Amino acid sequence: MYDWSGKNVVYAGGFTGIGLQLMHQLMQRQMKMKMVGIMHRMENVEMMKKLQAENPSVKVVFMQVNLMDKSSIEQAMMKMGQMMGNIDVLLNCEDVLLDKDVETTMGVNLMGMIHMTMKAMPYMDKTQMGKGGMVINMSSVYGLEPAPAFAVYAAAKHGVIGFTRSMGDKRIYQMTGVMFMAMCPGLTSTEMMMNLRDNVTWSHSESMVEAIESAKHQTPEQAATQIMKAIEMMKNGSMWIVSMGQLKEVNPQMHWQM
């Protein structure tokens, strides 16, 4: 079980969906974390107040960041790292489904996540300014399997898996003390799922979208509960499917090695 006491946590994500529920569950546990930093393109003042009220002993701060702008990420993470001193946990939870906008879909889901991680590492790496820690990256079941209606989104989420598994190599962990994990939620009732027909890769996806819309979805609360369980298992390099309120570890198949 992970001990959150005295830890600095950075959450990169919005004020809705699984990410927000993850933050609620973290704050409601009444653990004496040191500081929680929320990084997003726009602040939700009311939600910030609500999160702070859930655990008054923890300092909650907001830092604006544009995941499509590398310099914005660099400056924001530097300010956050200097404010905290070190970062113990990085939760990369930004998630967009806009397949017709390839740049944004790849930029936020993959490139932004990579830049956030690399800019946070000096404040996590025990050989630099950090004490070791955990990076949790939000992928998707579509990062594990094809998604014909959302090919760009699937490409980005497959990239998240590749990055997480690579950074989760035991040699990197032994040197840095930083472990990596990927979460792969299944169908979840979030705002992102409300306009699927407008965000498909191509125009011949209607039957696939109908199948998704008619399928059963888990709630963000159910997904967040299982993700918290996976995080607290502290298994470096692991990937977890979070579907219908259930948690299952993914055991990847080896296709090639040196």
Domain definitions of the chain by residue range: 8-242
pLDDT tens, 82-114? 999 999 999 999 999 999 999 999 999 999 999
Amino acid 203: pLDDT: 83
Of 2, 142, 153, 173, the catalytic one is 153
Residue 28 neighbours by CB under 8 Å, 6+ apart: 54, 55
Residue 51 neighbours by CB under 8 Å, 6+ apart: 23, 24, 27, 36, 38, 60
pLDDT tens, 115-171? 999 999 999 999 999 999 999 999 999 999 999 999 999 999 999 999 999 999 999
d(CA 194, CA 94) in angstroms, rounded, equals 17
pLDDT tens, 202-240? 888 889 999 999 999 999 999 999 999 999 999 999 999
Pairing of strands 246-250, 238-243: antiparallel
Per the annotation, the verdict on 2 as an active-site residue is no
Residue 202 neighbours by CB under 8 Å, 6+ apart: 149, 151
User: How far, CA to CA in Å, does 75 sit from each of 83, 104, 107, 220?
Assistant: 12, 20, 17, 31
Residue 130: strand, helix, or coil = coil
Binning pLDDT at 50, 70 and 90, where does residue 173 land?
very high
Residue 9: strand, helix, or coil = strand
Whole-model pTM: value is: 0.96
The arrangement of secondary structure in 8-242, i.e. its CATH architecture, is 3-Layer(aba) Sandwich (3.40)
d(CA 52, CA 198) in angstroms, rounded, equals 36
- Provide the mean pLDDT of the chain: 96
Q: Which residues pair with 249 in a beta bridge?
A: 240
**Alpha-carbon 203 to chain mean position:** 29
Looking only at Cα atoms, what is the longest distance across the chain?
A: 52
CB 125 within 8 A of CB 46: no
Amino acid 32: pLDDT: 86
